[in-house]
Structure 1
Amino acid sequence: MSATHSARESAPRPQPVSGVPMRDLLAACAAAAAVSTPPPAPEPRRREPVRRHREAA
């Protein structure tokens, strides 16, 4: 291996730019989470206490 070849391998490669703004990525993530999250379960109905007639004294 030559010195120039090993220097090229160890040099960091530039990352490609996606061209999508971070705002759009975050909005897409929020929209995907909203669509894929099931709605909350309905709250159970409360039973009203049974009203019994009191006997007259």
Structure 2
Amino acid sequence: MPATERDEKQPRVMPAVPMRELLASCAAATAISTPPRLPDPGTTGHRRAA
């Protein structure tokens, strides 16, 4: 028995997102989910006078 159009599964079509928006979204998510870095212990504080 031949399959009817209703019986056939249609491929799922994802909406097109410009690469610029995708990269911006990823950058924003990374910035929000990444904790701030602690300062490098070797570069903080005052230098001693020679």
TM-score normalised by the chain length of structure 2? 0.49
TM-score normalised by the chain length of structure 1? 0.45
